Amino acid sequence: MFDVHKIREDFPILSQKIHNKPLVYLDNAATTQKPKCVIDALVEYYSQYNSNIHRGVHTLSQKATEHYEATRDKIKNFINAKNREEIIFTRGTTEAINLVANSYGMHFLKENDEIIISHLEHHANIVPWQIVCQKTGAKLKIIPINNDGEIIFDEYLKLLNEKTKFVALSHISNALGTITPIKQFIEKAHSMNIPVLIDAAQSAQHLSLDVQDLGCDFLTVSGHKLYAPTGIGFLYGKKNLLEKMPPYQSGGDMILSVSFEKTIYNELPFKFEAGTHNIADTVAFGKAIEYIENIGIEKIYQYENDLLEYGTNLLSEIKGLRIIGTAKNKASIISFIFDDIHPHDIGTFLDSDGIAVRSGHHCTQPIMKFFGIPATTRASISFYNTKEELLQLSEGLKRVVKLFQS
């Protein structure tokens, strides 16, 4: 049985009040709340075995290294990677994409090569590729979307050609919730020997990911969207590609030896992990993965999908509300607008009711331009949310409408 009320007890922040109202947290696409086991892992690290890793023979260093590297193994199993050295710790999805853009893109792409992204991308999967194009002379090609907010596969096929040298796509849109059938995009690219990067920042917490089944060459994840702390995430990359790529940053731990004449780089994964890493948050990331696996990602998806359907039906009944992003296959995100009420006003009013939503362009300005709007209000759902909370959102929005119509 999926007992949401028992699950909510694991998240201390959910029991607080905002403006004397119970917190209704519906901003999970921006960042998720943290279970007590994750918070406890941070406290335990700093109070019991705080030490640098990989570099000491003393007990604290050995223990810190053991816990840090254990998270790498947990991630390997979580996404079914073939090798643990294919997991590179980063600050999150943004740094992971920049790592690939700089280390792969700058070294293996050249003038007139083409990089394909889609109209659904977060800025973090647009700007790095624009920079690669500016510096190498490569060209950026964009797959269009339809009015439901879905990538048009036939248009993707038209863009693929002998000049295409890289594809980078989001798995789930952070602005619309669209789930892209990513495997068929990968298979088509691979039939032409084109590597593919998947931005899984919005999918790792909702869907089961199997990189060997998907076949992707790179995959990026942010820990803070997966119930872990901020400032930690990872890049998955196929071993044969990572071995060919030069280091993204240089310094300690990414070297085997240094002299003034020559530096020999360390083996994977350490070649891409320069300096003292985010040890505490990496350890806590492992606890977050354990927590999710204990509940079951399939159960989480089913519960969240039920909430999405319930919430969509509720909000669709509100006069003047228009949902932006109506893909047939969606994750638990509901973005919406009122033609005569600014999203920031909606967010401010809902906050006075203790309801946290996100208002803005969600770092997806091209999507907003496509729909001819400046911004949306976005309610994003997690497995600790309830139907009662979505009803509170609906009632709050009705009060917003009433206020602005009076």
Percentage of the chain beyond pLDDT 90 is 97
What pLDDT, on the 0 to 100 scale, is given for residue 149?
98
376, β-bridge pairs: 360
Residue 406 has pLDDT above 90, yes or no: no
What pLDDT, on the 0 to 100 scale, is given for residue 55?
79
Give the tens place of pLDDT for each residue, 17-32: 999 999 999 999 999 9
Give the tens place of pLDDT for each residue, 353-391: 999 999 999 999 999 999 999 999 999 999 999 999 999
Average pLDDT over residues 100-120: 98
Residue 267 has pLDDT above 90, yes or no: yes
Give the tens place of pLDDT for each residue, 280-333: 999 999 999 999 999 999 999 999 999 999 999 999 999 999 999 999 999 999
Q: Kindly list the structural domains of the chain, giving each domain's residue range(s) and its CATH number in brackets, ordered by start.
A: 4-30+296-405 (3.90.1150.10), 39-294 (3.40.640.10)
Active site residues: 363
| Of 27-36, 93-102, 221-230, 245-254, minimum mean pLDDT range | 245-254
Average pLDDT over residues 109-122: 98
What pLDDT, on the 0 to 100 scale, is given for residue 347?
97
